[in-house]
């Protein structure tokens, strides 16, 4: 891949967007910087030689078209995705380029599948929502764990985060989601569908691989993985769980934003993701370990774009990571960022 391949990054100046821009440059792409705030774009462009700034409000289709002009693909890093995903997908379809986003919003990702699947398939376009730590990584792990299974009874993804300091974007997206649910309660995926419940999430114990071990988790701490996994795998029960301490931090109003702890700007946060599928009395597992859930989203999204542009995809339309890519191969390609193992 050469610098002739431009990739538009919408929300380039955000916390995750900056990691994506850096990853694109490291991989030999030329980022095209876009977003809603012209001043922030100009400031970022000053530190990125050759990367111009293209401001584009999401409500201005002509500006979005200019932002994507000449780009080979677009990565949407700007939440809340309930507001940005649909306009950017429309622009990508007009431009005839693939679209990838890093949405963690459950309903926004479900809306993308519901609203654009037919059009994207008819156009031969590739639209990949939730190509991030939540949504993309879990789906890849569950798909890899499934192996030759075509169906399973249940899938569970348990997250052990050493800490969770939310970005401003995470807080904004969470507030939009809260308002959108309008008192309907928490969401989970059960009996083959999303459902809303008013009861408290269950308190569970999860035996993570070492060195984490047995930990208390908030059961059904639902993430975008329930949308991505269920979009292509025959699994009627998909549940995601979160270590209690990390859940408390991200929900607390006074938890600070992530702080850089190395020269790459990554925080000191570490993670272990334990993905399990069960069928009958048989269990299969895939495990991933790494550092900084926001930073690791960048190689996930950029690897997705690289594979799309080099023709290493399995289908078209609105597709999850596990459906469109070779899951084990994709995860192994990220060995510089994520350690991955299958347990059969």
Confidence of residue 51 (pLDDT cuts 50, 70, 90): confident
pLDDT of residue 1: 43
Q: Residue 326 pLDDT > 80, yes or no?
A: yes
Confidence of residue 239 (pLDDT cuts 50, 70, 90): very high
Say yes or no to pLDDT of 336 above 50: yes
Fold of 6-131+297-324: Rossmann fold (3.40.50)
Give the Cα separation of 106 and 81 in Å (integer).
10
> Each residue of 132-141: pLDDT tens digit?
999 999 999 9
> Is the per-residue pLDDT at 2 higher than 60?
no
- For the record, the structure tokens of 173 come out as 């997206």
For residue 231, the Cα-to-chain-centroid distance in whole angstroms is 14
In the chain, residues under CATH classification 3.30.360 are: 134-293+336-343
pLDDT of residue 52: 86
Q: Please write the tens of the pLDDT for every residue from 59-109.
A: 999 999 999 999 999 999 999 999 999 999 999 999 999 999 999 999 999
Confidence check: pLDDT of 231 > 90:
yes
| Phi, psi values for residue 111, rounded to 5° | -60, -40
pLDDT at residue 161 tops 60: yes
The proportion of the chain whose per-residue pLDDT surpasses 90, expressed as a percent, equals: 97
Helix (H), strand (E) at residue 45: helix 38-46
Mean pLDDT of the 52-58 span: 95
**pLDDT score at 50:** 83
DSSP per-residue codes, 154-192: EEEEEEEES-----HHHHHHHHHHHHHHTT--EEEEETT
| pLDDT over 50 (residue 154) | yes
pLDDT of residue 278: 98
Phi-psi region for residue 183, left (φ > 0), alpha (ψ -120 to 50) or beta? Answer: left
Quick one: pLDDT at residue 49? 86
Q: pTM for this structure?
A: 0.97
Average pLDDT over residues 286-313: 98
Q: Classify residue 136 by its DSSP letter.
A: I
Tokens of 40: 């922030």
First to last CA, the chain: 35
Residue keyed to tokens 């380029």 = 97
Burial of 263: CB neighbours in 10 Å, binned 0-12, 13-18, 19+: exposed
What are 241-256's pLDDT values in tens digits?
999 999 999 999 999 9
pLDDT at 220 over 90: yes
What's the mean pLDDT when you consider all of the chain?
96
Least trusted range by pLDDT, from 41-55, 111-125, 303-317, 321-335 = 41-55
In the prediction, which pLDDT does 314 show?
Answer: 97
Q: What pLDDT is recorded for position 3?
A: 42
Question: Predicted confidence band at 344 (pLDDT cuts at 50, 70, 90)?
Answer: confident
Give residue 4's pLDDT.
Answer: 58
According to CATH, what is the number of the domain 134-293+336-343? 3.30.360
Report the percent of the chain where pLDDT is more than 70.
99
Whether pLDDT at 178 is above 90: yes
**Which part of the chain has CATH 3.40.50.720?**
6-131+297-324
Find the mean pLDDT for residues 288-308: 98
């Amino acid at each position: 891949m050469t610098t002739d391949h431009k990739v538009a990054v919408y929300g380039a100046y955000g916390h995750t967007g900056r990691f994506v821009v850096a990853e694109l440059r490291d991989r030999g792409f030329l980022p095209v910087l876009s977003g809603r705030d012209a001043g922030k774009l100009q400031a970022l462009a000053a530190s990125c030689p050759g990367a111009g700034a293209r401001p584009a409000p999401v409500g201005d289709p002509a500006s979005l078209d200019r932002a994507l002009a000449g780009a080979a693909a677009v990565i949407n890093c700007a939440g809340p995705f309930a507001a940005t995903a649909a306009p950017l997908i429309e622009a990508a379809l007009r431009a005839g380029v693939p679209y990838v986003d890093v949405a963690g919003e459950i309903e926004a990702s479900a809306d993308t599948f519901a609203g654009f699947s037919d059009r994207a398939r008819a156009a031969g376009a590739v639209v990949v929502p939730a190509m991030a730590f939540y949504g993309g990584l879990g789906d890849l792990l569950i798909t890899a764990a499934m192996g030759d299974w075509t169906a399973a009874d249940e899938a569970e993804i348990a997250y052990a985060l050493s800490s969770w300091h939310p970005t401003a974007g995470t807080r904004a997206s969470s507030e939009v989601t809260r308002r959108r649910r309008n008192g309907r309660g928490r969401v989970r995926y059960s009996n083959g569908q999303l459902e809303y419940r008013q009861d408290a999430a269950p308190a569970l114990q999860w035996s993570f691989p070492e060195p984490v071990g047995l930990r208390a988790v908030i059961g059904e701490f639902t993430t975008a993985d329930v949308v991505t996994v269920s979009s292509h795998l025959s699994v009627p029960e998909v549940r995601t769980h979160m270590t209690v301490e990390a859940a408390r931090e991200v929900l607390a109003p006074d938890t600070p934003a992530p702080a850089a702890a190395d020269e790459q700007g990554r925080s000191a946060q570490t993670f272990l993701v334990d993905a399990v599928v069960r069928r009958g009395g048989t269990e299969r597992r895939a495990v991933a370990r790494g550092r900084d859930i926001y930073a690791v989203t960048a190689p996930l999204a950029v690897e997705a774009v690289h594979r799309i542009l080099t023709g290493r995809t399995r289908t078209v339309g609105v597709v999850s990571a596990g459906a469109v890519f070779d899951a084990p191969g994709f995860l192994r390609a990220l060995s510089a960022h994520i350690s991955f193992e299958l347990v059969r």
